Amino acid sequence: MATYTETLSKLQEQTLEALKQAQATQVAALTTIGELVSTVPTFRPTAGLDALPTFTELVDLNAAFTRNVLEQQAAFAAQLASIFTATQKTVAGTIDAAVAQTTA
């Protein structure tokens, strides 16, 4: 029988694989759309459009934000783990003491 950690790890692997497949589908669709759009006649951009960020800049900005969120979540998870570990030790000590008293 698989442990909780093994089950969680397998679920994470399956989730990442499903995400990878969904992303590949989106990339393929956007590539096709990009090819179709390349056949559209050119137009003159209005003033101010050149001030908009490029898609690459937007991707970089969003990737940086995602990294920051993940770092913050990792720190939060570490804090929670520390709290639960300390609590678990305290509870285990209390239970051990109670068991020792009842068996003495």
Give yes or no: residues 98 and 79 share one domain: yes
Give yes or no: residues 88 and 61 share one domain: yes
State the Cα–Cα distance between residues 58 and 97, nearest whole angstrom: 58
State how many domains the chain has: 2
pTM over 0.95: no
Where do runs of H (alpha helix) occur along 38-54?
none
What is the structure's pLDDT at 103? 81
What is the structure's pLDDT at 102? 84
Tell me: the pLDDT tens digits for 44-86? 766 677 778 899 999 999 999 999 999 999 999 999 999 989 8
What is the structure's pLDDT at 57? 95
State the Cα–Cα distance between residues 1 and 19, nearest whole angstrom: 27
- Residue 79's domain spans which residues? 50-104
DSSP SS3 for 9: helix
DSSP SS3 for 12: helix
What is the structure's pLDDT at 47? 61
Flag whether 28 is in a domain: yes
Query: pLDDT band for position 40 (50/70/90)?
Result: confident
Give yes or no: residues 32 and 55 share one domain: no
Would you state the structure tokens that stand for residue 26, as one six-digit string? 């989106």
Give yes or no: residues 29 and 54 share one domain: no
Sign of torsion, CA 83 75 69 8?
negative
- Average pLDDT in the chain: 89
Flag whether 2 is in a domain: no
Flag whether 1 is in a domain: no
